[in-house]
Amino acid sequence: MTWTNSPFRSLDARRLLSLVLIGAFVWSLSSVDWRGGIVHTGGGDALKDFPLALFPPELSPGFLKLGLIASWQTVVHAVAGITLAIIIGLPLGIIASGSLGKPGRVRMLVAAVMRFILAFMRSIHELIWAVLFVAAFGLSSLAAVLAIAIPYAGILGRIYSELLNDVSEGPLDGLRSAGASPAGVLIYGRMPMVLTDLLSYGFYRFECAIRAAAIMSFVGIRGLGFEIQLSLHDLKFAEVWTLLLFLFGLVLLVDYWSTSVRRSLNS
């Protein structure tokens, strides 16, 4: 047995990774100034007041209306962002999977270049994209939508390419033997076999997009996060809880929608 095929190589790699992670954790603990105050002055009272503010949260009609408006703004940004991400990410993921074209070096090269592009897109956090787009377009919905769409397209494209590559080759060989082209194999073979997984991961990313749209407040874009930030600045924790419950409700609705769609496909 050669060293490259030895199970000890992967075992040593896992041990090395574990040691690196343990070392990073220990280093992070050692970098904390344990001699100073971990909680700043007044922080203890804030930690006590925040959970107590949940009983009850702010339920005045005016603030509930504000929460609904902010929720709608967040949903609009998330829906537009994830839709654009799918429109971009799906074809890029198909190209990155190498499912199209004749087998050979050219197809491998194109797939490798596309994977590099997808890696670049997802390597930059949506907040950084937001800062760049705000500088270009101002505090508009377009900045929020593009800031979500670009990195999420990179993530979706990578996952979609992996799902398409993991398809069992048996049914695909049957299509090829019947004379199907690579595009036909993709449309009638790969896509139907991974459709449920594509939708499931797309809905999960939609949940993430809602949270991402909420935190766009850090660059000044309106939404739930913007209102949470204003309430936190004024130490109005009851209002914060109300807005967090709105955010929680949005995630629950998406989860319910995702479950319903997957059940309908499997029935």
Q: How many domains does the chain have?
A: 1
Burial class (CB in 10 A: 0-12, 13-18, 19+), 206: buried
Place 97 in a pLDDT band, splitting at 50, 70 and 90: confident
**94 in a structural domain:** yes
The answer to the question of residue 154 being in a domain is: yes
CATH of the domain at 175: 1.10.3720.10
Mean pLDDT of 108-129: 92
Q: Is the pLDDT of residue 46 over 90?
A: no
Confidence of residue 82 (pLDDT cuts 50, 70, 90): very high
Within a domain: residue 50? no
| Arithmetic mean of pLDDT, 188-217 | 88
Residue 253 located in a structural domain: yes
Quote the Cα angle for 174-178-180, to 5°.
95
The answer as to whether 24 is a domain residue is: no
Residue count of the chain? 267
Q: Which range of residues forms the domain containing residue 197?
A: 59-266
Is residue 214 in some structural domain?
yes
Confidence at residue 1, expressed as pLDDT on a 0 to 100 scale: 47
The confidence band for 66, taking pLDDT boundaries of 50, 70 and 90, is very high
Residue 38 has pLDDT above 70, yes or no: no
Residue 239 tokens read as 């209002």
Query: Is 36's pLDDT higher than 60?
Result: yes
Q: Are 54 and 241 in contact (CB under 8 A)?
A: yes
Token pair listed for 185: 């194999």
Which two three-digit tokens encode residue 157?
Answer: 């494209």
Mean pLDDT of 105-125: 91
- Report the share of the chain in percent with pLDDT over 90: 37
**What is the average pLDDT across 154-171?**
88
Q: For residue 4, tell me if it sits in a domain.
A: no
Residue 200 has pLDDT above 90, yes or no: no
Say how many C-beta atoms besides its own lie within 10 A of residue 68's C-beta.
11
Give domain status of residue 1, yes or no: no
What are the tens digits of pLDDT across the range 13-23? 778 888 888 98
pLDDT exceeds 50 at position 33: yes
Reported confidence tier of residue 11, pLDDT bands at 50, 70, 90: low
